[in-house]
Amino acid sequence: PTFKLAIVGRPNVGKSTLFNRLVGKRLALVDDQPGVTRDLREGEGKLADLRFIVVDTAGLEDVDDDSLQARMRRLTDRAVAEADVVLFVIDARAGVTPLDQTFADILRRRGGRILLGANKAEGRAGLSGAMEAYSLGLGEPIPFSAEHGEGMEALYAALQPIADTF
């Protein structure tokens, strides 16, 4: 028995970095250049004793601002439709952006199990951004650093009770 976790969020918040950390292979390309990762990518996730399927939503990096929202909505819809749990990620250093708010509204309306991740929170850098994330109305933000591997125990604590139901 396993569950499927979809990682969603606007471009550049660190979705693919987290995907790579959970999957442990470099299946999703991480790059600062636009146009590198595309659409949905699946892998076998592992976090301590938890095993699950992870979906990384990409394909958002290569579109202009005008089409970004529509494409985000389509891809997120696809990822979320298949997922048992959605991890909505923000950049804790950047704080909550209008695009994050739009995204959070879409997810909240859809319902289902949604976790809120505040990435790039290594050290104390992301503290205020993580606090800001409470305003999204998606519950308690989970601060972590996908790049540095910090806060993975908090992510585990959030996923573990969900895993138990599968």
What residues line the site for ligand GDP (CB under 6 A)?
9, 11-17, 30, 32, 61, 119-120, 122, 145-148
122 is in an annotated binding site: yes
Task: Give the Cα separation of 52 and 31 in Å (integer).
Answer: 25
* Segment interacting with Mg ion, rule: CB under 5 A, options 37-45, 76-84, 101-109, 133-141: 37-45
Q: Which of ligand GDP, Mg ion, none does residue 76 bind (CB under 5 to 8 Å by kind)? A: none
DSSP string, 46-109: EETTEEEEEEEE-S-TTS-HHHHHHHHHHHHHHHHHH-SEEEEEEETTT---HHHHHHHHHHHH
> What does 119 interact with, of Mg ion, ligand GDP, none (CB < 5 to 8 A by kind)?
ligand GDP
- Residue 68 or 131: the one with the smaller Cβ distance to ligand GDP is 68
How many C-beta atoms lie closer than 10 Å to residue 30's C-beta?
A: 18
By beta-carbon proximity to ligand GDP, the closer residue of 13 and 138 is: 13
Instruction: Output the smallest distance, CB 76 to ligand GDP, in A.
Output: 12
Q: Please identify the residue of the shown chain whose CB is closest to the bound ligand GDP.
A: 14
- Tell me the pairing of strands 4-8 and 40-47: unpaired
Pairing of strands 50-57, 4-8: parallel
According to the binding rule CB under 5 A, does residue 17 interact with Mg ion? no
Is 16 near Mg ion (CB under 5 A)?
yes
CB of 20 or CB of 163, closer to ligand GDP = 20
Q: What is d(CA 155, CA 116) in angstroms, rounded to the nearest whole number?
A: 10
Considering the complex, state which of residue 20 and residue 130 has its C-beta at the smaller distance from Mg ion.
Answer: 20
Residue 109: how many CB atoms within 10 A of its CB?
7
75 is in an annotated binding site: no
List the binding residues for GTP: 9-16, 56-60, 119-122
